[in-house]
Amino acid sequence: MPFNGLGLSESIVKAIQELGFTKPTPVQEKTIPLILKGKDIIASAQTGTGKTAAFGLPTLDRLKPGKRIQCLILEPTRELAQQVEEALQDYSKHMDTRVGVVYGGVKYGRQRQMLEKGVDILVATPGRLIDYISQGVISLKKVEVLILDEVDRMLDMGFLPDVSRLIKMCPENRQTLFFSATLPAAIQTMMKWVLKDPEVIEIGRNHVAATTVTHAFYPVAEQQKYNLLIELLTRTHFESVLIFTRTKVNADLISRRLERLNHSVATLHSDRSQGERTAALKGFKSGKFEVLVATDIAARGLDIAGVTHVINYDVPLNAEDYVHRIGRTGRAEKEGDAFTLVTEAEVKNAKSIEHYIGQKIDRTKLEGFDYMYSALFDAEEKQAQRKASSRMYGRLRR
């Protein structure tokens, strides 16, 4: 079905055609007609499925510009808030609707001015929004559409009490759109009092990594992890590489060491200032930095195109995060490589990734790298030998 079959107005269809969207994604096809009818929805779509347009397009269509906050969109991180605001600015470029964004970590001045001028749609992270409400700068009394995005992330980050407070400040008579990739018990409890007779939309959970991504596990002893990373970077022809670490400390450490080797590097994690985070992301997207070192919390859901390689310096604890991490490469049918360094302590997590994506990942040895004793390779070799000898024994018995 083309976009103009969904009931959207001409000015929106024109804007999305200019963006090069030719047909709606599955989540857009399912949600747009329901949102246009004013229904509450719960959608389990993940980032990358086109969910921003799924909630953004029909909402823009329904609102009449009036410079009061008619639609509030809550996001867990500043980067996601910025990304959603930018997308809405693009979608609404042929309309008079005003879109604004507020998040913490930056000065109040410009955000305050924007709020005082008036916006129709406000994208916000919970903490800074509460600040403005308690200062009396804005109120949520005129909100007609409340969009809660990435609710499971907000739960992980401890924002649910703030989110609940904000929901209670909105009028009861409103439309609520609820997006969460997973629905743990705390979220199900919240859904009961937040939504009215919602339609549930499930978009198949994305266990599967893009087929254009080549995966490899690189078993290595803990002490040699960094050297192997450097060797991989030296031998790989990459245009842009995203390195994931589990901790902020490791992200900083690796960035500093790579800088000393004259790589152009940016770092993204939640302890960096907002200015640094914005500059890192912008610089990486524009090609100014060839390497971005990031933690999961900062990078989840970000729409970064054209990454040729993802290197997991640490195996993610959560198999789902692996799919998110490598989802940054191999986008839009481009080829991408995903390398994961695996120490002995991480084997269990590595195996659960294979189980989750339903695919065995090759254990790869970097030729010529001066490996110290690695129990990992030994264990795998022994297992292979045991399997071979039991096959042989079976054949002899027959």
- Output phi, psi for 364, to 5 deg: -120, 140
Per CB under 6 A, does 212 bind ligand AMP?
no
Tally of CB atoms within 10 A around 82 = 21
Position 180 contacts ligand AMP (CB under 6 A): no
> Contact at 8 Å (CB) between 291 and 264?
yes
Contact flag: residue 177 with ligand AMP (CB under 6 A): no
User: Is residue 48 within the footprint of ligand AMP (CB under 6 A)?
Assistant: yes
DSSP 25-49: -HHHHHHHHHHHTT--EEE-PPTTS
Instruction: Establish if 182 lies at the interface with ligand AMP (CB under 6 A).
Output: no
> For ligand AMP, which stretch binds (CB under 6 A), given 42-50, 92-100, 174-182, 357-365?
42-50
User: Of residues 24, 100, 126, 327, which one binds ligand AMP by CB under 6 A?
Assistant: 24
Residue 139 CB, nearest approach to ligand AMP (Å)? 28
Which two structure tokens, joined as six digits, stand for 383? 């297992």
Pick 132 or 178: Cβ nearer ligand AMP: 178
Count of residues of this chain found to bind ligand AMP when the rule CB under 6 A is applied: 12
Please tell me the distance from the alpha carbon of residue 76 to that of residue 174, in angstroms, as a whole number: 22
> Interface with ligand AMP includes 352 (CB under 6 A)?
no
**Distance (Å, whole) CA 81 – CA 102:** 8
d(CA 141, CA 20): 36
Q: Which of 9, 25, 278, 374 binds ligand AMP (CB under 6 A)?
A: 25
Q: Which stretch binds ligand AMP (CB under 6 A): 18-26, 195-203, 248-256, 279-287?
A: 18-26
Beta strands in the chain (DSSP E): 41-43, 71-74, 99-102, 121-124, 145-148, 175-179, 199-201, 213-219, 241-245, 265-268, 291-295, 309-312, 336-342
Residue 123 as a binder of ligand AMP (CB under 6 A): the answer is no
Q: Does 206 bind ligand AMP (CB under 6 A)?
A: no
- Nearest-approach distance from CB 50 to ligand AMP, in angstroms: 3
Contacts of ligand AMP in 249-308 (CB under 6 A): 303
Q: Give strand ranges (E) for 189-252.
A: 199-201, 213-219, 241-245
CA distance 216 to 224: 17
State the Cα–Cα distance between residues 125 and 123, nearest whole angstrom: 7
Tell the smallest beta-carbon distance from residue 21 to ligand AMP (Å): 4
SS3 content of the chain, % helix, strand, coil (to 5): 45, 15, 40
Q: Residue 79 or residue 120: which is nearer to ligand AMP going by CB? A: 79
- Give the binding range for ligand AMP (CB under 6 A) out of 46-54, 243-251, 315-323, 344-352: 46-54
Interface residues for ligand AMP in 49-108 (CB under 6 A)? 49-53
Q: How far is the CB of 332 from ligand AMP (least distance, A)?
A: 8
30 binds ligand AMP (CB under 6 A): no
Binding footprint of ligand AMP on the chain (CB under 6 A): 21, 24-25, 28, 47-53, 303
